[in-house]
A and B are shown apart, each in its own frame.
Chain A
Amino acid sequence: MSEVLLECRDLDKTYTVGKLRRRRVEALKKVNLQVRRGDVYGFLGQNGAGKTTTIRCLLGLTPVTHGKVIAFGEASPPPEVLFTRLTYCPEESNVFTGLTGREVLTIYGRMYGMDEARLRKRVDETLALMNLTEAADRRLSGYSKGMRQRIGLAQALLPEPELIVLDEPTRGLDPISRRRFRDVIEQYAAAGTTFFINSHTLSEVERSCNRVGIIDQGRLVTELSPGELVSENPSLDVDYRVDGEPLPGSEQRDRHWRLNVADTRALAQATAQIADRGGTVTAVTTRRESLEDYFIKIVGDQEVVGP
């Protein structure tokens, strides 16, 4: 097992809202998670499930009500230690819009402590990586939403840290930018960078992450790798044509019927029955339960109770 870079133990977070009539909102309940070196950790959950709150607790942006945060082997390290090894891009790229793209990166790069020569090189590289070279010398107030998001991502990639924490990185990006960004993550991950990514874009997480945590109403429901999903539930789809009655449980697809069977024994039975009815099997495929199916099974079934 590789080294744990960031973890929280029994993390509770309760917000108190309202000045006069105080109300408590339990945002996180006993969350335990570990991000190990080399992980691309996808953190999934519905709106309001507590994804952003988890990150804010991990990074010390909000006081923890109860529990422990350990980063790089140290309990709640101060910002000057934590952020030399970890960078963060917040939800909605939150950068002052009076600066130009290049200024933003240069100023933050200096705060990261990068020396000027490396900084200049990295600024050009990250601007190119995020496809912002043309807009580099314009102020952010004249950027589109997606461009601002990309500047936020660029400032997180800039110092090439060990761990990058991203809160909904692809929000507001067009399909081409999404694809590009996925490639960037893969490229950085291959070079050894660890990622912790909040998202509700499941297909994306499924493609780029090697570990997935699902949080629901402040509780970490499950942790798995997308690979586990497939082996856990290997069912088979049988597509067939038949003139008479289809087998019970079949769904109509445009020109044929589809029956889902649990295993190869059931498959043999089904093909025999189809042959009995004078039908023909046109295809047999393994149904890979997608992360989305799984997510909805875990999270969607429960009644959503607002806080």
Chain B
Amino acid sequence: MNVRAHHVAHYAWLRLVRSHYLKALLAASFFVAVAAFGGSGGSDSVMARMTALEVAIKASRWFVWLAAIWIGLSCITDEINAQTARTLFTKPVRRVEVVLGLMGGGALYLTLVTAVNTLLIFVIAVGRDIPVSLGSFALLQVSMLIPVFAVLALTMVLSLVFSKPIAGFLMIFLAQENVWDVLATTLNASQRPDWFKVPGVFLLKLCYLISPTYHRFIQEYQEFIQLEFPWGEFVFHTAAIGFYVGAAALLATFILRRKDV
């Protein structure tokens, strides 16, 4: 079996690296990371500096999340709209590999952005005497990066089903925790049998993962520095995201087989 998805990923990667919009987004995320620290210049308290760190981390996460939506909206749709898909899709590569390759290129790019941001924030934090270890900080960043892959995959599918702006709005709407909160509460309070309610509520709670704040990790950040890393939860969330991404890839492949390119 010939696997050629990585060549598609390479192509997607080059497309992203050479896109000016993403360069601007990357520059803006660095700027915010630095600016967040600059704002706490007046105070010397550890608390104030920790807050500044938290702001920087949240900002970096927001930018990665936005970049994921941007890439998800454009990576297949632009290819089809610009008709470059006619050249790309007429290569001996399975449709599912094309989808996974395009996703993979995007994921690689988001990883790069996160890695650069993490290093930047870490260097500034050390310079300002904020007590963080690179290991635990990197782990935190990874745990916040992985849900972004699900955002990328879901946006990609939505952009194939709807137009780009509608898919974008829908994605931002779905990323509101309140949406899933309300649905979970409603389901919980309903008369449904437990065998339906319990997994239903559970699945709805898992939808939190695509929210840009994905706040579990961030809120407990300060404790986290001292706490054990919640490995169990991390592994579970990663598995759930793997499921989302896989389902999205299959759905995208299915749609592409029936779509005009």
Q: Which residues of A contact B (CB under 8 A)?
A: 56, 59, 61-63, 78-84, 87-90, 92-96, 98-99, 103, 107-108, 110-113, 152, 155
Contacts and interface: CB of A to CB of B under 8 A. Distances in A.
Contacts of A56: 260
Given A110-B7, A111-B4, A94 B91 contact: no
Contacts of B84: 94-96
Contact of A98 (B2, B7, B19, B90): B19
Given A80-B93, A87-B90, A107-B7, A92 B83 contact: yes
Contacts of B7: 107, 110-111
A111 B92 contact: yes
Interface in B37-92: 82-87, 89-92
Nearest to A82: B92
B137 to A, nearest CB: 34
B1 to A, nearest CB: 9
Contacts of B86: 61, 88, 90, 94
Given A94-B83, A113-B2, A79 B90 contact: yes
Interface of B: 2, 4, 7-8, 10-11, 14-15, 18-19, 82-87, 89-95, 258, 260-261
A112 B93 CA distance: 8
A87 B91 CA distance: 8
B99 to A, nearest CB: 12
A61 B15 contact: no
Contacts of B82: 94, 96
Contacts of B83: 90, 92, 94
A82, A89, A93, A98, most chain B CB atoms within 10 A: A98
Contact of A63 (B11, B87, B90, B258): B258
A306 B84 CA distance: 28
A178 to B, nearest CB: 22
Contacts of A59: 90
A63, A84, A99, A107, most chain B CB atoms within 10 A: A107
A110 B2 CA distance: 11
Given A62-B261, A79-B94, A113-B2, A108 B89 contact: no
Nearest to A90: B86
Given A80-B94, A90-B87, 15 more contacts: A63-B260, A79-B94, A80-B2, A94-B82, A94-B85, A94-B86, A96-B82, A96-B84, A99-B14, A103-B14, A107-B7, A107-B14, A108-B91, A110-B7, A111-B91
B91 A98 contact: no
A111 B82 CA distance: 20
Contacts of B19: 98
The list of the 7 closest CB pairs from A to B, nearest first, reads: A98-B18, A111-B91, A90-B86, A83-B92, A94-B83, A84-B92, A88-B90
Given A62-B261, A111-B7, A113-B4, A95 B92 contact: no
A113 B10 contact: no
